[in-house]
Structure 1
Amino acid sequence: MKKLQEEYQSLIKYVSNNKEADNDWFRLESNKEGTRWFGKCWFYHEMLKYEFDVEFDIPVTYPATAPEIALPELDGKTAKMYRGGKICLTDHFKPLWGRNVPKFGIGHAMALGLGPWLAVEIPDLIEKGLVTYKEKEAEKKS
């Protein structure tokens, strides 16, 4: 329970700092036990906001093992993703996590794992037409 409180305090401070810097890009909450996390993340590209569901479970071996962050709606759209929409963090983030156990937490996974992944992958997916701006889809249907 203490680790869960630490995670929430860290995330609250991180989100607060992001808002103050006009760099707000995700919202998270957890189940009562703190074992399952879910929320939204978003990425701005060419002045448009692309929003995605984000979810992950805390591994049994946490904090020795980083959570596997998933964006389920992007499942199968990029090679840098595993089944279920889990983003690939193996080459860059997992070694960093390993060197910083047990200091790293969920905020680090978001800032140093998901954030850079979004910055690289989303513009590429948009350019390939695999991710489209949702308001445009709504306009087409009407």
Structure 2
Amino acid sequence: MLQYVSNNKAADNDWFRLESNKDGTRWFGKCWYFQNLLKYEFEIEFDIPVTYPTTAPEIALPELDGKTAKMYRGGKICLTDHFKPLWGRNVPKFGIAHAMALGLGPWLAVEIPDLIEKEIITHKDEATK
């Protein structure tokens, strides 16, 4: 994951920050998405499953809970149809960077513009007007 993050920073293409608890079992941080030159930022969290790396982490954006059909209770994003089969074919080669790049990244790219267009989420500066 460190190389992925370093490459993104070097290319001015970083879009998340993560840190873990001391055991590396719980991860949290922020991810962001830009649209119309506005930055939309979200809290992110996930636990490493006991069956990892056989099972992919379930990534959650708690503040978006209930705002899209492509999300489970607690703000866990839906990765079942597209990402989980890919993960299963690549066990044990995939890790957290893959979950971010191939799971969360495409989910944000599809869901966030739709939520913005439907005015389900607004930019923080627009919300204060």
TM-score (norm 2): 0.98
Identity of aligned residues (%): 83
As a proportion of its length, which structure holds more helix? 1
**1:113 counterpart residue number:** 103
- Note the alpha carbon deviations across 1:36-90, whole angstroms, 9 max, x for none: 0000000001110000000000000000000000000000000000000000000
Once the two structures are superposed, what CA deviation does each residue of 1:65-116 show, in whole Å capped at 9, x if it has no partner? 0000000000000000000000000000000000000000000000000000
What is the alpha-carbon distance in structure 2 between the residues aligned to residue 103 and residue 24 of structure 1? 22
What is the aligned residue count? Answer: 129
The higher radius of gyration belongs to 1
Give the 5 Å matches for 1:33-72. Answer: 33-72=23-62
Tell me how far apart the structure 2 counterparts of residues 77 and 137 of structure 1 sit (CA, whole Å): 16
Gap runs ≥5 in structure 2: none
Secondary structure in 2 matching 1:97: helix
The within-5 A match list for 1:1-142 is 11-138=1-128, 140=129
In structure 1, C-alpha distance between the alignment counterparts of 2:2 and 2:38, rounded to whole Å: 26
**Alpha-carbon distance, 1:16 to partner:** 1.1
**Cα displacement (A) at 1:12:** 2.0
Q: Which whole-Å deviations, capped at 9, do the CAs of 1:99-136 have from their partners, x for residues lacking one?
A: 00000000000000000000000000000111100022
Taking structure 1 as the reference length, what is the TM-score of the superposition? 0.89
Counterpart CA distance in 2 for 1:109 and 1:27 is 14
> Where does structure 1 lack aligned partners over 5 or more consecutive residues?
1-10
1-side partners of 2:36 and 2:127: how far apart? 17
Q: CA RMSD in A?
A: 0.6
Q: What is the rounded CA distance, in whole Å, between the counterparts of 2:95 and 2:83 in structure 1? A: 12
